[in-house]
Structure 1
Amino acid sequence: MKFVIYKDKLVESVQNVSKAVSSRTTIPILVGIKVVATDEGVIFTGSDSDISIESSVEKHENDQINVEVIQTGKIVLHARFFSEIVKKLPDKQVEIEVTDNFHTIVRSGKAEFNLIGLDAEEFPRLPEIEEGLSFQISNDLLKTIIRQTVFAVSTAESRPILTGVNWVIEKDLLTCIATDSHRLALRKAPISINPNKSFNVVIPGKSLTELNKLLDDNQEPVEVVFMENQIVFKTKNLLLFSRLLEGNYPDTSRLIPDESKTELTLQTKEFLQAIDRASLLAREGKHNIVKLSTLTNNTVEISSTSPEIGKAVEELQLERVEGEDLKISFSAKYMLDALKSLEEQELTISFTGAMRPFILHSINDQSQIQLILPIRTY
């Protein structure tokens, strides 16, 4: 195998696929990146058996030659060392050549590295992408959906199903739900799926987090393909395969209240900053608790107490208050996470009592709901 490639294309592809490589794998070959040179270009692959990422560099793109393949072939190179080497190469072009016994030479300018490669035949093959159940979604919308849900997945392995985000498709509507049993994030988006049928899967939060890092902020389409036990996200030069979590995701619809006793409408940024200030002291406590109490004249009091440090109190003017007086306590971290996910300038918080879950949503956008369970302190 022998090819010459532009360094920036090489570095980008190697960094992308390295996100799927784990140093703690039980399969020795998976510490490496698979490099395959074909007549069409070069394909790089990294995998930890749960997530696999494939990045391709085409020979020609936009009238520019990215790579010249002199001899086709394949090799697996140690991911950490290969990644560090390519980032520090001196020249714009890099030549990679594989000789006998998987001996690999990496040349750039006057620098030369000799690496011991591994047999690419031992690298697990990625599943063939089946033409079937799939839909397209714009890059930036997919990133937004991930950002607004994935933070609420559970980090506890005691309930593995909650470490993923539940994607439900019904009648051209995608509903994404994440919960760790103390909070819930829900986002809906219209899609067009072919064939038109229902689907219900749970995607590991880790996979979606890595996908979010890989995607650019643009309107380019991402094709999402559902396969047996796998989901594939496909862009022009990138493939991400992820296993799906096994088991039934809990029915969360009954958690979302359909009525409220107290409603507050307020400025998202002002409220976030007030909670952030209160959390400076709340962080010292075990549960990071902030208290909210309604006052007269459309104001609320936000406070936190730390027995060792002191107390923080702030009054905040609201746009609107409706319903009963309220005193409630909640996790400052959960509230900040929820507020950061909301994009509108104004939001409504609907409460059904001091010990009942409450929901946050933008005034003009009902496609997103954030739900938080209060903490008993009163």
Structure 2
Amino acid sequence: MKFSINRDQFVQSVQHVSKAISPRTTIPVLTGIKIEASFDGVTLTGSDSDISIESFIPLEDEEIQNVELEQPGSIVLPARFFAEIVKKLPEDTIELSVSEQFVTTLKSGSSVFNLNGLDPNEYPRLPEIEEDNVFKLKTDLLKNIIRQTVFAVSTVETRPILTGVHWAIEEGTLACTATDSHRLAMRNAKAETNTNDLSFSNVVIPGKSLNELSKILDDNEEWVDIIVTENQILFKAKNLLFFSRLLDGNYPATNNMIPTNSKTNVKLETKKFMQAIERALLLSRDGKNNVVNLKTLSNTHLEITSVTPEVGKVTEDVATLDFNGEELRISFNGKNIIDALRVIDSTEVTIDFTGAMSPFVIKPTEHENMLHLFSPVRTY
């Protein structure tokens, strides 16, 4: 195998596929990046047991020559060294050639590296996925959906199913839900489907997979094809394939958790409410005590307080835009509220309280695509 390639393109693809490679794998060939050169272009692959990423660099793209191919072939190179080498090579072009015993030479300007490669035939094949359950989302919408849900997944492995985001489609609407059992984030979006009867209800994608996918997707409005099978999901973007395994098990029925009525309704400016809670948490030493207390003062004001006995107390006065219902005192995890307010794309929010010891809901006022549910904290 021998080819020359644009360094910037190569570095970007190497960084993309490296995100799928785990240094803890017990399979030596999976510590490497597979590079395959053909008459179409150069394909790079990285994989572990959960995620596989394939990045393709065409020979030509919009009349720009990316790759000059002399001899097709393939090799697996150790990701740990290879990713650092290509990033630091001096010139705009890299020449890569493979000789006997998988010894690989990288040349760029005055730099020459020789790396011992691995047999590409030992590299596992990416799964063949039948494209039956296919739908499409614009890239920027997909990134927003991930940003607005994945923060609420559980980071504790005691209930593995909660470390993922639940996706379901019904009548062309994609519903995405994440919960760690103390808070819940829900985001709905219209999905483009080829058929009106596409539906699925128990697809749970690891939060780690979605975070990595979001990092490598460009901010644009190009379509991403999404294919769901029994135990895999595939995201197909331009020159990129991203496979993730799905989590086993049944996701809890979250729709039953959302209150249908409320006793107290408050409308607030999102930014001012968030900043008041951030200030209230400034005295919470080491972030261990994130409890914030909220009390209605009148029909126009709320009082937010936080007490750390060994440090002191902070009191915030927050003006409401609208207030209906009963007076209320409630305590909650302030950090969880801040996480939600950061991803709500609305200048105003409404909060529906159902009582001092019952879950409450925060929703944007500008649309109905999202809601956040929180459990209160007992302070006595």
TM-score, length-normalised on structure 2?
Answer: 0.98
Measured after TM superposition, the shift of residue 356 of structure 1 is: 0.6
Distance 1:135 1:108, change over 3 A: same
Q: What's 1:83 paired with?
A: 83
Question: For residues 236 and 218 of structure 1, what CA distance do their matches in structure 2 show?
Answer: 11
1:343 is matched with 345
Residue in structure 2 matched with residue 146 of structure 1 by the alignment: 146
SS of structure 2 residue aligned to 1:258: coil
Select which of 203, 225, 229 maps to 2:227: 225
State the partner residue of 2:302.
300
Distance 2:111 2:181 in 1: 54
The 8 Å contact of residues 163 and 204 in structure 1, kept in 2 or not, is answered as: yes
> 1:268, 1:344 within 8 Å by CA — same for their partners in 2?
yes
1:275: how far off? 0.6
Structure 1 equivalent of residue 174 of structure 2: 174
Q: Which residue of 1 aligns with 2:44?
A: 44
- What is the CA distance between 1:307 and its match in structure 2? 1.0
* Whole-Å separation in 1 of the counterparts to 2:164 and 2:285: 27
Write the distance in 2 (CA, Å) between the matches of 1:209 and 1:286. Answer: 25
Is the contact between residue 299 and residue 324 of structure 2 (CA under 8 Å) also seen in structure 1?
Answer: no
Once the two structures are superposed, residues 282-338 of structure 1 have per-residue CA deviations (whole angstroms, 9 ceiling, x without a partner) of 344634111111102510011101111111111011101110111111111100011
Q: Which whole-Å CA distance do the structure 1 matches of 2:280 and 2:170 have between them? A: 41
Per-residue CA deviations over 1:209-241 (Å, capped at 9, x if unaligned) read 001101111111001011231000011111100
Q: Deviations over 1:351-376 (max 9, x none)?
A: 00111110101112111001111101
Q: Distance in 1 between matches of 2:215 and 2:198?
A: 30
Amino acid at match of 1:176: C
- How many Å apart are 1:266 and its aligned residue? 0.6
Q: Secondary structure at the match of 2:21?
A: coil
Q: Aligned runs of 1:112-123 on 2, under 5 Å? A: 112-123=112-123
Measure the CA separation in 2 of the matches of 1:140 and 1:197: 23
- Residue 28 of structure 1 deviates from its aligned partner by 1.3
- Aligned CA RMSD, in angstroms, stands at 1.0
1:265/1:347 contact within 8 Å kept:
yes
Q: Is the 8 A contact 1:187 1:369 kept in 2?
A: yes
Code of the aligned partner of 1:39: F
Amino acid of the residue matched to residue 158 of structure 2?
Answer: S
**1:259 paired to 2:261:** yes
2:188 alignment counterpart: 188
What are the within-5 Å matches in structure 2 for residues 266-305 of structure 1? Answer: 266-284=268-286, 286-305=288-307
Moved over 6 A (4+): none
The reply on whether 1:368 has 2:370 as its aligned counterpart is yes
Structure 1: tracts of 5 or more residues without a match:
none
Distance 2:286 2:108 in 1: 52
2:281 aligned counterpart, secondary structure: helix
Q: Which moved more, 1:278-287 or 1:198-207?
A: 278-287
Q: 1:64 to 1:19 in 2, by over 3 A?
A: same
Identity of aligned residues (%): 57
One-letter identity of the residue aligned with 1:327:
R
> 2:237 aligns to what?
235
- Give the corresponding residue for 2:129: 129
Residue among 353, 358, 373 paired with 1:356: 358
Aligned to 1:198: 199
Q: What is the distance in 2 between the residues matched to 1:185 and 1:370?
A: 5
Which stretch has the larger CA shift, 270-279 or 194-203?
194-203
Equivalent residue letter for 1:218 = N
State the SS of the aligned residue for 2:272.
helix
Rounded to whole Å, the distance in 2 between the matches of 1:36 and 1:278 is 55
TM (norm. structure 1) is 0.98
- 1:35–1:42 Cα contact (<8 Å) kept: yes
